[in-house]
Chain A
Amino acid sequence: MIPRETPSEVDETALIREIRRGRTELFEHFVRRYQRRITRIAYRFLRDAGEADCAAQESFLRAYQNLGDFREGSTFETWLTRICINWCKDRLKRHRRVVFFHQAPVRDDEEGEAPEHLAASTDPSPERRAAGREIRERLLEALGSLSPRQRAVFEMKHFEEMSIPDIADATGLDTGTIKSHLFRAARKIRERLEDCRS
């Protein structure tokens, strides 16, 4: 059994080979390592924690059942992300939720205190906290103006820190399209921020 805190240097391709040979218990490594990340990605599409949990579990199950289809040129993480995104897309289609990234409800905590890191910063003045809050509100508002697809790509790049080739691989879009989405998203946010100021 793989220890829970598995070092990141584990050769996952070799691990997959072992699982295919019958050491199925080794799959635990992937669940421990990627469940949080996959749940977060699913949440970015579904905007519901329960559904995101369901998406993550189903994605792992599908990955496990189809491990024979995994190609060694790719990474397990990208492959799993692709499975998860496809699951989310199917889910959204079934529920006919066309607008799935737009109009995220503003939570109570978004209107309260500034983020922790601002309060603990070297300059915790009320002005600075207020400035941080204002930036945050405007950013959220600007993010809300993006199309669902733009926002998904934007969040995968900037919040999940995925590389452009990985996003392309996971979404089935080409890298040029991903870059185009990113540029357009950034331009829209900038325009929105200019509008706010004026």
Chain B
Amino acid sequence: MNTTSDNPQASTTKPVRILVVEDSPLNQQVALKQLEKLGYTADAVADGELALEAHARTPYDIILMDCQMPGISGYEATWQIRIREQEKTGAAEAVKRVYIIAMTANTQADNREKCSSAGMDGFINKPVQLPELEAALMHALADQMVAKKMDEVIDPVVIAGLRQLRTPGKPDPLAELIDLFVREAPTQLDIMSDAVAKNDMTSLTRTISAASALKGSAGNLGARNLAALCDEIEQTAKNWILADTQPLIERAREEFSRVQATLERIKKS
């Protein structure tokens, strides 16, 4: 395996793990030098089989993948990496989703379609030029930051589990569940606010009931912070401290806005 890590600038490089998969030694060396110039260290391998081995060993953040290589092609290697990631979803040692950028000498639309179908996230044309490479890496890192922020709001393992319930030709159960949740959650929050304002025994029961229902539906979609807030509302109401629940309900409303925005993004992806 070739690497840029033995270069003298290694101590100042960015903490992003990159793998270059490219069978042409010339293109491979140019890509490594370009990455070094941009401040990244990277490993490099020459075919899809070695890429799969490297991916199993190292949790790379980004893979720059040549599409056509002898043996296992870039398309097939990507496909196998995505299967590996899916299989390990929810496992004790879950594999994080690596951002894969196709390096393609074929710019036709159908080729890009093939890259997307295989599970690649971005594309750059070969021969790779420094500004295009920099832009693709920035895009990959921004995408991963958004993903990280989304993970803080919605548990990705829960979403991955719901995605597996999809059946070809039938409505997407994840989308249906999201729609139902987004429709019903504001009503539950309103019930809690109204009940707390009335401050009587019936209201107390209604608050507990609404908080419990929202906790359940939020938990089903992996909205763990919202579920935790609803649990807190439920416990506070059960202890007859209705006055303390109002600020919690406001926090739950704010969290719901984040959850709603994240779920809409998930639905589109």
Is B truly associated with A? no
Chain B residues within CB distance 8 Å of chain A: none
Chain A positions near chain B (C-beta within 8 angstroms): none
